[in-house]
Amino acid sequence: MLTIPVDDRTQLRLLELSHAPALFRLVASNRDHLRPWLPWVDRMRVEYDAKSYIIRSLGRFSAGTEAHFGIWFEQALAGTITAERIDAWNRVAEIGYWLGKGFVGRGIMRRSAAALIDYLIEQRSINRIEIRCTPFNRASQAIPLRLGFRLEGTLRQAAYLQGKFHDHLLFATTADRWRRTGAAREAATSTQSIPAPPAQRIAGSTEAHPRLS
């Protein structure tokens, strides 16, 4: 099993079939929390759906086009983070993520995203990494901003959520920028997290969301 260490309490584990029960339980207990941002939530109705998703994700990992990781915090599944749309020729990838409500506000996602970016750059030779999110998803925006990504623009009506089209903000960084800003970023990610205000304690997502399809 591919495992990426994050810190002494957190690690990323490539999703495997044995993770399906924990994944389904986490999604089922967080539907209201995730539904505004992740359109696939209501399609994961039974544990078999989680297994099917993991089987597809493993196929895409073997093809080199995606990598779906569970975020394990103190041995509990806290959420997922995904490298998707991996373009090996142009060395570009997109990251998406979400956390269960009980794990938000602890800096888990910021540190997990940093660890995944390190893996993509150093192990997969990815040069450009993107994160996309809707303008009203403040928690999701906070991840790339705190990691030193640049806001490059707006993708008009790029997401279809809750029966409406929404814009995406496009954040990106490159391998050379990531390496240049490493010291400042490590200082920021090691700082104790301050819980977000209640209105912002929402899921980061890949609107940048890991797709269920």
In a domain, residue 208? The reply is: no
pTM attached to this predicted model: 0.86
Gyration radius (Cα) of the chain, Å: 16
In a domain, residue 97? The reply is: yes
213: pLDDT confidence band, cut at 50, 70 and 90?
A: very low
CA distance 83 to 87: 11
Q: Quote the number of domains for the chain.
A: 1
Q: Kindly report, residue by residue over 105-159, the tens digit of the pLDDT.
A: 899 999 999 999 999 999 999 999 999 998 888 889 999 999 999 999 999 998 8
Per the CB < 8 A criterion, the answer to whether 20 and 50 are in contact is: yes
Q: Characterize 117-138 residue by residue with b for buried, 16 or more Cβ atoms within 10 angstroms of its Cβ, and e for exposed.
A: bebbbeeeebebbbbbbbeebb
In a domain, residue 120? The reply is: yes
In a domain, residue 205? The reply is: no
CA distance 92 to 99: 24
In a domain, residue 137? The reply is: yes
In a domain, residue 213? The reply is: no
Lowest mean pLDDT among 8-12, 113-117, 163-167, 170-174: 163-167
In a domain, residue 184? The reply is: yes
In a domain, residue 95? The reply is: yes
Residue 98's nearest CA partner among 10, 174, 208, 9 is 208
Structural domain boundaries, residue 89: 3-200
More confident residue, 184 or 27: 27
The amino acid at 105 = G
CATH number at residue 93: 3.40.630.30
